[in-house]
């Protein structure tokens, strides 16, 4: 009753032939060992990113293979730049990206949580607990934690607009406090809230907030334009003679070039009479003059085009007191049309007022060593532009990333306006809640829920470590405060300034409930994903010793 057919050896022994299933060189690892190695890989990734958490978090400098240097504090940015090859650790990169696209902030939090869940699960795995048991109870704990966040969160619906914008500003400040621009968080938080308030409140499309970076000046020189700003496009002679300031001008947006075109398709014209040649040249000039006359006749004072506006046209418009700019970037033109209400035209025939846009003020302004064209006070304005200033290029890049996080947070808070106390307060409260619940669970589940609860404490602990305080001491104070049963105790978190504890809700350290909900769910998903892998198979590269691809034997389509 042996499995499979037996084979007789020459000396009469019966043996079972070896079955080769996977190609030679395939690396398979199964069971507990590879699960532990996957967990270790994920923990190694987390260790590289954990110091960036919180207002005292440090930054990472990543130098990539192209020689581009990035300085960042944003979890998702760092995870993208780290070229992680370990297949299990890649799941952490994915959750950081999903947290970034879903809520915008909390990317470091989600990676640290996932790593800590795995760290807590590791001893159970080593002791031979079946991973499915851990997964089942971790999922239950995550569900309870998310429900508790919803229960604790304070909604800001129905508040007056002033209160609401103040609240949004507080949320933006919490996000910005952990970034490079934390020193000016008050200034930038206000800017983000103003920017989001100018958007269409139903759509809240973040692409309608333009961010322009200009070297030089200090951070404080950054400003918000309630409309569109873009860098002066390439210009021809005659440009300087054009007026650079208009009030209530009409705006015409084109998608065609206003210059003499050379014939592209090698057209051949045979002339019997040399005087006819002049007629052909004149015809070309007449065509372009006709176009330009129609543009001016439409009453537009500002003419923008995605394609080139040549030197002839530039001079023509300058003589008639019209401003023009060609070769605009598409995104800028789209934002101009959204703001001014102009419709992009592909022909200049039959132009009427319906197709033209308008704005209150148009001006050209010098910012640093760049010139910017600004459209202000637009009637249909559902767009705005932030012009960021700063001393170093990397610094401005990082400021732009930080503001992007803050804008996303404000957008989410406008959409579902519920907030929870930050500074590790919510994490401690969830931890306490789950520990209390674990006591009521009979059996192994109690251990797993306790482990989950302990893992949640990593956020306040990491905040302490990054601020240089004694984590054990602070966590003991926090545990005591949260366990006291006093309702206000639930809002106590870490005070990063003096290493004590404080009511973070009263101190306006708030974050949208959505950030926490998403972070806990995503971290739990990633943990369960890693725990549920029981075999890793690595296929070898199909190469010979000399690096050449191996061909099938006989070379006839692999049939031998």
Active site residues: 74, 107-108, 405
**Cα–Cα distance, 19 to 14 (Å, whole number):** 16
The answer to whether the beta carbons of residues 233 and 326 sit under 8 Å apart is yes
d(C-alpha 230, C-alpha 119), whole Å: 49
Largest CA distance in the chain: 109
Residue that has been written with the tokens 């034997």 in this structure: 553
Which string of DSSP letters, residue by residue, matches 469-480?
S-HHHHHHHHHH
Q: Which residues pair with 498 in a beta bridge?
A: none
Task: Output the six-digit token pair for 39.
Answer: 């967990």
Cα distances from 226 to residues 132, 187, 197, 229, in angstroms, run: 54, 16, 10, 9
Question: What do you get for the CA distance between the two ends of the chain, in Å?
Answer: 36
Which residue reads 């001006």 in tokens?
A: 363
Which residue from 110, 107, 106, 104 is spatially nearest to 204, judged by alpha carbons?
104
Q: Determine the distance from the C-alpha atom of residue 485 to the mean position of all C-alpha atoms in its chain, rounded to a whole number.
A: 39
- Which uninterrupted H or E stretch holds 511? strand 510-512
Hey, which bits of 119-259 come out as E strands?
154-155, 209-215, 223-225, 227-231, 245-247, 250-254
Place of tokens 């990676």: 111
What's phi and psi for 190, nearest 5 deg?
Answer: -60, -40
């Amino acid at each position: 009753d042996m499995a499979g057919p037996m084979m007789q050896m020459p000396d009469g022994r019966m043996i079972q032939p070896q079955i080769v299933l996977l190609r030679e060189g395939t690396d398979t690892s199964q069971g507990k060992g590879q699960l532990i190695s996957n967990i270790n890989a994920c923990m190694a990734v987390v260790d590289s990113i954990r110091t960036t958490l919180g207002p005292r978090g440090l930054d990472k400098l990543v130098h990539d293979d192209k020689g581009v240097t990035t300085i960042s504090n944003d979890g998702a940015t760092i995870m993208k730049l780290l070229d992680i090859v370990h297949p299990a650790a890649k799941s952490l990169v994915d959750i950081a990206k999903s947290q970034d696209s879903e809520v915008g902030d909390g990317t470091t939090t989600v990676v640290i949580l996932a790593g800590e869940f795995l760290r807590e699960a590791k001893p159970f795995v080593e002791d031979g607990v079946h991973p499915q048991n851990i997964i089942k109870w971790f999922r239950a704990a995550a569900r309870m934690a998310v429900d508790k966040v919803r229960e604790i969160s304070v909604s800001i619906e129905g508040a007056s607009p002033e209160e609401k914008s103040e609240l949004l500003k507080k949320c933006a400040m919490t996000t910005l406090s952990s970034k490079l621009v934390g020193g000016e968080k008050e200034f930038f938080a206000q800017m983000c809230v103003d920017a989001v308030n100018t958007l269409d409140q139903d759509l809240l499309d973040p692409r309608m907030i333009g961010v322009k970076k200009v070297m030089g000046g200090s951070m404080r020189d950054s400003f918000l334009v309630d409309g569109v700003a873009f860098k002066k496009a390439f210009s021809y002679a005659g440009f300087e003679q054009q007026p650079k300031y208009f009030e209530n001008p009409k705006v015409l947006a084109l998608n065609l070039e206003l210059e003499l075109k050379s014939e592209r398709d090698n057209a051949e014209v045979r002339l019997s009479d040399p005087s006819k040649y002049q007629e052909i040249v004149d015809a070309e000039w007449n065509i372009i003059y006709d176009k330009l006359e129609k543009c001016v006749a439409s009453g537009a004072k500002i003419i923008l085009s995605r394609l080139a506006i040549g030197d002839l046209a530039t001079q023509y418009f300058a003589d008639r007191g019209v401003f023009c700019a060609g070769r605009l970037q598409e995104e800028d033109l789209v934002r101009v049309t959204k703001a001014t209400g102009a419709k992009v035209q592909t022909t200049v025939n039959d132009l009427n007022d319906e197709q033209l846009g308008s704005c209150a003020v148009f001006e050209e302004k010098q910012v640093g060593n760049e010139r910017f064209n600004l459209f202000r006070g637009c009637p249909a304005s559902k767009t705005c532009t932030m012009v960021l200033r700063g001393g170093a290029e990397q610094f401005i890049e990082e400021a732009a990333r930080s503001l992007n996080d803050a804008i996303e947070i404000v957008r989410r808070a406008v959409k579902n306006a519920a907030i929870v106390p930050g500074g590790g307060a919510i994490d401690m409260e969830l931890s306490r809640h789950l520990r209390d619940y674990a006591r009521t669970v009979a059996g192994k589940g109690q251990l797993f829920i306790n482990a989950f609860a302990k893992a949640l404490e990593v956020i306040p602990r990491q905040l302490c470590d990054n601020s240089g305080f004694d984590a054990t001491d602070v966590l003991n104070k926090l545990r005591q405060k949260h366990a006291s049963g006093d309702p206000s105790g639930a809002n106590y978190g870490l005070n990063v300034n003096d290493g004590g504890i404080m009511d973070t809700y009263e101190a306006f350290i708030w974050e949208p409930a959505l950030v926490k909900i998403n972070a806990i769910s995503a971290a739990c998903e990633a943990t369960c994903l890693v725990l549920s892998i029981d075999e890793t198979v690595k296929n070898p590269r199909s190469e010979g010793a000399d690096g050449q691809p191996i061909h099938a034997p006989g070379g006839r389509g692999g049939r031998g």
